[in-house]
Each structure stands twice: as structure tokens, then as C-alpha cells.
Amino acid sequence: MATVVYPAIVERSANGYSVFFPDLPGCTSAGASLGEAFANAEEALTGHLLVAAQHGDELADPSRLEDIEYDPEIQEAGRFLVRAEKPGKSVRLNITLDEGLVAAIDRVAKNRSGFLAEAARVALAAKRELADP
């Protein structure tokens, strides 16, 4: 996976803050506080990139933050850069798992690879949260 950084714009809203990505129409997020809006923006960007990759959608290259023009109709609270991992092409692996674990996976998932990939993403996110207090 390659790391990408997209600019995000934060707007004040009635219930806190909303976030949108000028380069990625439809990719939005929100939060009650600026910190929550930032964290949710990372999650929204990661999800958007994953879904785009699954559907084979082309993504715009990230703009430079300073190149994004101000819109007088938007009440900006700030701008920031959001980092995410851009999914790459799939790599075939040969792994060994306990047969009981494989059977348990097969009972809940239609696709072993997809299930294991999602489990790895969740575990990696949890480790990152523990590493970043």
C-alpha cells in the first residue's frame, strides 16, 4: 500500500464540524469536536479509497493545500491534510492456519481472503491507536 495525503476542509455546523475532501466528491465526515472531525476524516478517507479500489474507480491526485481556492459561501473552520493508505494490487499468499480456525472463518465469510484482509486492517488500526496515545 502506498501512503497518500489528501487536503480536507472543515466547516462549522450546527452540531460541531463537517469535513469534505475537494479532490474526492462524496467523501465527507463530521465530528462534535475538531479532534473527532479529524479522526473521522481519516476513517472516511480510508474507506473511500478502499471502496474506490474495489470498484476500480479512478481517483484524482491530491491537490496541494495552498492551491485550493477559498469559497466565500463556505464557513471554514480550518484546513488540514489527511493521510491514508491507498490500497494496492492484490498479492497471492500461501499461509497456514489451524483447520478449526479456517472452518470458523468459512462459517461467517463468503470470501476467506477478504475476511482475513479486513481482520488485518482492524488489527493494524488497533495497534496504531495503542501506539498513538
Q: Residues 109-131: pLDDT tens digits?
A: 999 988 998 898 789 878 877 77
Cα(132)–Cα(125) distance, integer angstroms = 11
Please give the Cα distance from 78 to 11 (Å, whole number): 7
Question: Does residue 99 surpass a pLDDT of 90?
Answer: yes
pLDDT at res. 133: 58
Question: DSSP string of 24-83?
Answer: STT-EEEESSHHHHHHHHHHHHHHHHHHHHHHT---PPPPPGGGSPP-TTS-EEEEEEEE
Strand pairing partners for 12? 17
CATH 3.30.160.250 assigned to domain 1-88? The reply is: yes
Give the mean model confidence (pLDDT) for residues 42-52: 91
Per-residue pLDDT at 7 exceeds 70: yes
* pTM of the model as a whole: 0.68
Domain ranges of the chain: 1-88, 90-133
